[in-house]
Amino acid sequence: MKKAWLLSILMVLTALFSAVFVPKPQALAQARASLPLEQLFPDTLGVWHLDPSAAALIRPALEQAKQFQMYDQLLERTYIDDLGRRVMLSVAYGRQQSVGLQMHRPEVCYKAGGFKVEDVQPGRLAVGAYSLPVTRLTAGMAGRSEPITYWRLLGDEVVSDEAQFKLRQLSMGLSGAILDGMLVRVSSIDDDRQGAYLLHASFVTALAHALNSSQRSRVLGQH
């Protein structure tokens, strides 16, 4: 309850300062927005490649999200490995991540879509020597269980805690700037939750290895 009050206060303060100072998107965010997500995420990641039965999809923001300028780009792909295992990748990018335009977290979106959301837990995903802060959860409905691993970037930093996310928004708003944001979601259809999380970790490691240093910092955050 105390944390909920803190988040509410931070949201109000961020909105207030945004209205007073009229912060603007950073030039770097404007440049990033011009780079198609399909160029940032390779078609082949080690043993993983695009599933020919599920074509890559990059599209403008969904109508409701577009109305509120939440996303500039949305990338959805399905990858398959040599063993026939499939992983779904969803990436949302928005150049303006003010309090009213913040990307919806999967635990919110899936619930709104009729899924039962369970076991939302913070975690760490080892990517080489880097420990990536992530959130894990399971979204389910009749006949379908979808374990999910995701992380959010605010500017160049991965921010997993919601209060820290709001505080960083507020501090940047005070300086007259709005950071861009990206949400990277990895999921699979699997009744074995822990096995799915291990599969996600393997996929993210392959993704990291397939990126150059600049791309890696962009997708996994600077560290």
Compute the mean pLDDT over every residue in the chain, rounded to the nearest whole number.
Answer: 80
Of residues 28 and 151, the one with the higher pLDDT is: 151
Q: What is the pLDDT of residue 209?
A: 96
Q: What is the pLDDT of residue 176?
A: 63
φ, ψ at 185 (rounded to 5°): -120, 130
For the residues 7-12, what does the mean pLDDT come to? 57
Q: What is the pLDDT of residue 94?
A: 81
Query: What is the Cα–Cα distance from 117 to 145, expressed in whole angstroms?
Result: 10
Query: What is the Cα–Cα distance from 78 to 62, expressed in whole angstroms?
Result: 19
CB 134 within 8 A of CB 123: yes
Range of the domain at 147: 2-220
| Range in 12-16, 74-78, 193-197, 198-202 with the lowest mean pLDDT | 12-16
Query: What is the Cα–Cα distance from 164 to 169, expressed in whole angstroms?
Result: 8
Q: What is the pLDDT of residue 100?
A: 44
157 confidence band (pLDDT: 50, 70, 90): confident
Cα dihedral 106, 107, 113, 115 sign: positive
Number of domains in the chain: 1
Residue 93 pairs in a beta bridge with 73, 182
Q: What is the pLDDT of residue 3?
A: 61
Q: What is the pLDDT of residue 53?
A: 80
SS (H, E, C) the chain: CHHHHHHHHHHHHHHHHHHHHCCEECHHHHHHHCCCHHHHCCCEECCEEECCCCCCEEECCCHHHHHCCCCCEEEEEEEECCCCCEEEEEEEEECCCCHHHCCCCHHHHHHHCCCEEEEEEEEEEEECCEEEEEEEEEEEECCEEEEEEEEEEECCEECCCHHHHHHHHHHHHHCCEECCEEEEEEECCCCCHHHHHHHHHHHHHHHHHHCCHHHHHHHHCCC
Structure tokens at 20: 């007073």
Q: What is the pLDDT of residue 108?
A: 85
Q: What is the pLDDT of residue 67?
A: 47
Q: What is the pLDDT of residue 61?
A: 44
Over residues 69-112, the pLDDT tens digits come to: 567 788 999 999 999 999 999 998 887 665 444 556 888 888 88
23 confidence band (pLDDT: 50, 70, 90): low
Q: What is the pLDDT of residue 93?
A: 87
Of residues 14 and 116, the one with the higher pLDDT is: 116
Q: What is the pLDDT of residue 1?
A: 60
Structure tokens at 177: 């700037």
- Say whether pLDDT at 2 is over 50: yes
Structure tokens at 206: 């392959």
Query: What is the Cα–Cα distance from 221 to 158, expressed in whole angstroms?
Result: 5
For the residues 42-52, what does the mean pLDDT come to? 94
